Amino acid sequence: MFSEFCLEMPDRLEDALSILSDMKGTPVAGGTNILIDIRSQKENPPRLVALGDIDELRGIKVEKGRVVVGSRTTISDLLKSSQLLKTSPSVIDAAGQFAGQMVRNTGTMGGNIACASPAADLVPPLMSLDAEVRLASASGSRTVALRDYYQGYKQDVRGADELVTQVSWNALPQKSVNRFYKLARRRGDAITVTGVAVTLSVSNGKCSKARIALGAVAPTAIRAEKAENMLEGQVLSETLIEAVATQAAAECSPIDDVRASADYRRHSVQMLTRRLISEAWNKLAQEVKSHVK
Ligand SMILES: Cc1cc2nc3c(=O)[nH]c(=O)nc-3n(C[C@H](O)[C@H](O)[C@H](O)COP(=O)(O)OP(=O)(O)OC[C@H]3O[C@@H](n4cnc5c(N)ncnc54)[C@H](O)[C@@H]3O)c2cc1C
């Protein structure tokens, strides 16, 4: 049963921000998380501010190499975007493994970020692309790097009067690979056991940039920065990739739960990191070979 709440349905961002500032309230975008929490009485917000009619928060643009996605853009919108497939393949990997069709049609990128779940599937891909989150309130706006957005389990830097309005990142440069793998108990509609996103760029035959982002293996999604540093500036070998995968596993702090043990999660981080980096390096092999004698 739902407890009683007051429902505000503004159709302009400005009005939504005024309501949040003057009367307080809990944003609801697709409702695929929050309504379940209300029904199970984990949450009991007296006022909901629905974002569903605010068209300016929905859409995908790529301008001057920068990808900008409105917070109310749905998972289905992401999957339909040929621009995202080209500029941000890991986001499409995540969207393609996300829930089932009904949830994809209503669940949003903003809701996935703001729910602050360590298992939110869009977050590791977005971290692997160095995404930034735009937060707006009635008194102004600010931009926060996604890697700095989370403070702890289900805790973020968003103020109660702020909305996530958009997420942006640079399009994947040439000579780069960007992929996400979701390991779950079954292929569709399952909560992630381990999520690994990798970005690898090469220049002059060496790895010029590496990003490894991990989901569901720590209180928040994280970057395995020590492992990334081991790759940058190097010609990759099997031995180095194995050492990097071991380091990535050492940087996570998973828990045992109904879906998997902590040990299995650590092992899967190692295995998936190794696999994704090896595949990326092999894919970039032509570029590497032309520089390495
Ligand atoms: C059957 C099922 C399957 C699922 N499968 C997956 C899955 O495979 N992968 C996955 O990651 N998740 C999954 N989820 C969880 C959920 O669908 C996603 O996290 C989704 O992206 C949430 O988006 P939403 O718009 O529905 O968020 P909502 O439920 O509307 O909101 C979630 C939270 O974010 C806040 N919020 C929403 N929008 C904003 C905003 N613009 N600014 C500030 N705060 C905001 C809300 O106040 C709330 O606290 C699943 C859920 C269900 C019910």
pLDDT per residue over 222-272, tens digit each? 999 999 999 999 999 999 999 999 999 999 999 999 999 999 999 999 999
Contact 158, 115 (CB under 8 A): no
Give pLDDT, residue 157: 98
Question: With a 6 A CB cut-off, is 164 part of the ligand 1 pocket?
Answer: yes
The DSSP letter of residue 283 is H
- State whether residue 131 is helix, strand or coil: coil
Give pLDDT, residue 181: 98
> How many whole angstroms from 170 Cα to the centroid of ligand 1?
24
Q: Where are the domains of the chain?
A: 57-170, 176-289
Q: Are strands 60-63 and 66-70 parallel, antiparallel or unpaired?
A: antiparallel
Contact 136, 20 (CB under 8 A): no
Nearest to 191 by CA among 182, 201, 200: 182
Please tell me the number of Cα atoms within 13 Å of 219 on its side-chain side: 8
Give pLDDT, residue 292: 62
Cα(107)–Cα(28) distance, rounded to whole angstroms? 10
Question: With a 6 A CB cut-off, is 156 part of the ligand 1 pocket?
Answer: no
Same fold flag, 57-170 and 176-289: no
User: pTM of the prediction?
Assistant: 0.97
177 bridge partner residues: 200
Give pLDDT, residue 293: 55
| CATH top class, domain 57-170 | alpha beta
Give every residue of the chain whose pLDDT is below 50, as ranges. none
CATH superfamily of 176-289: CO dehydrogenase flavoprotein, C-terminal domain (3.30.390.50)
- Residue 251 corresponds to which amino acid? E
> How many whole angstroms from 289 Cα to the centroid of ligand 1?
44
Question: With a 6 A CB cut-off, is 33 part of the ligand 1 pocket?
Answer: yes
Cα(104)–Cα(190) distance, rounded to whole angstroms? 13
